[in-house]
Amino acid sequence: MTLEDFMEEYKTLTPKSKALFDKALCSLPGGVSANIKYYEPYPIFMEKGKGAWLTDADGNRYVDYLGSYGPLILGHGHPAVNKAIESQLEDNGTLLYGTPHELECRFAQKIKELYPSIELLRYTNSGTEATLFTLRMAYAYTGKYKIGKFEGHYHGGYNQVLVSVNPDIASAGDIHNPTPLPESKGLEPYQLENTIILPFNDLEACTRILKENQHEMAAIIMEPIQSGYIPATKEFMRGIRKVTAELGILLIFDEVKTGFRAGLKGAQGLYDIKPDLTALGKVIGGGMPMGIVGGRKDIMMVTAPVKDSDVFDAGTGKRSSSRDVLFHSGTYNGHPLILRIGLAVIEVLEKEFDSVAARTGILKKELEKLFYAKGIRILTLGEATVFNYAITESEKILNYRDFQKSDFTTRKKIDFALFKEGIYNKPTNRYSLSTAHDDKIIDFTLEAFKKALQRI
């Protein structure tokens, strides 16, 4: 069957999603609330979730491997999450205080135990906000205003980092010296001058570029495991830590995906590397919007309010200059309900993380066997609870460009064939497992792949 045949099959399976999509087109640009949710011919509209399963508007049931792009590491509707939601209202009577509260400290303590590079932290409402604040901290701390960012790495939806996330390789220039390419319409042209693009897993080229820019570069920001499944080599990671420290450039780990996914202690635990600043998100909110920016005390203290820094004192002439303090505020920061859910998630993970990682490992191995038996060579990529696979003859995938060379047509055919077999993921996306993906679900998944591979 061709990819078009599989798409026709998809349309027969999901007519109500098509009707809802047509309706959505009348109110939302492109019919979606986030561009990432769109794919051809139209996305499936889900209605219910339970454990590892999602049910769509047509009543089709699927094992969910999207995990809402990562946060749902306990699956859908986990009792610990449900209980946290109910007891917040029962015990505390409200969702928000608008004041400091005890859980802000308790949650912070837990994060600091697991992520020793984080000496102080602040809460944000998303991963995007968390990485944004790491950059503002870096500018404020170093007095420099350029950043280094890796080709193919995603850090959220704002201007400084919307550069060379999914660049067209034909326009992306020399692999050792990538050209910054805008990831969006509407970026100010100067943005491309202030974001220097670095090649992932290429220490020699990175060292050269960092040395050339050391006097202007405040920090480099990186996904230690690109897109959650292309790991930095240990040697690269050690080298990057060393050279940034030597050159006075801060090292920021964006662990929004890898935090509580690549390991309970994140990628930094796995590599045993201490970044200067870290951004966390996704899993820590257990399905609710949440982020954390944390790191070295001397850097984090740039945002601490000092005497007379209350913005409402502006008219009294008493206020210390806003130049002295890094602005960080937000109505929902440290949201009591979300912190309660997040803490419940971490407590479950402390007991069950290893078994999710073990089952992910088994699924990867068994998939390799299935594909090989079918005469298709794949590389499985990723650490612990997240993986992806590439259909490729290459021995290694070390960066965005390597992954782009894999066979996306066959991959898409398999992904569309899998919808009919009851497996949900956005086509070509990585697989995120949860505590609900038990042995039965793994067996079901392998059977589904077997059938899909027979049909492609």
Ligand X SMILES: Cc1ncc(COP(=O)(O)O)c(C=O)c1O
Q: Which residues bind ligand X (CB under 6 A)?
A: 69, 126-128, 131, 154-156, 223, 254, 256-257, 281
CB of 107 to ligand X, least distance (A): 17
With beta carbons less than 8 A apart as the criterion, state whether 151 and 400 touch.
Answer: yes
| 254 classed as catalytic | yes
CB of 281 to ligand X, least distance (A): 4
CB of 224 to ligand X, least distance (A): 10
51 vs 286 by CB, closer to ligand X: 286
144 vs 257 by CB, closer to ligand X: 257
Alpha helices in 163-320 (DSSP H): 190-194, 203-213, 234-247, 266-271, 297-300
Kindly state the tokens that stand for 368. Answer: 């390799």
**C-alpha separations of 152 from 36, 183, 221, 227, 304 in Å:** 15, 10, 12, 8, 33
Catalytic residue among 282, 412, 413, 420: 282
127 vs 148 by CB, closer to ligand X: 127
155 vs 411 by CB, closer to ligand X: 155
Catalytic residue among 62, 115, 141, 154: 154
Task: Give the Cα separation of 165 and 155 in Å (integer).
Answer: 9
Kindly state the tokens that stand for 22. Answer: 């047509």
**C-alpha separations of 275 from 10, 51, 110, 146, 197 in Å:** 45, 35, 18, 18, 19
| 276 classed as catalytic | no
Q: Which stretch of DSSP H or E encloses residue 56?
A: strand 53-56
What are the φ and ψ backbone dihedral angles of 445, each rounded to 5 degrees?
-65, -45
CB of 447 to ligand X, least distance (A): 30
What are the φ and ψ backbone dihedral angles of 51, each rounded to 5 degrees?
60, -125
78 vs 261 by CB, closer to ligand X: 261
The residue with its CB nearest to ligand X is: 127
Residue pointed to by tokens 């109910």: 86
Catalytic residue among 56, 64, 202, 254: 254
CB of 155 to ligand X, least distance (A): 5
Known catalytic residues? 154, 254, 282
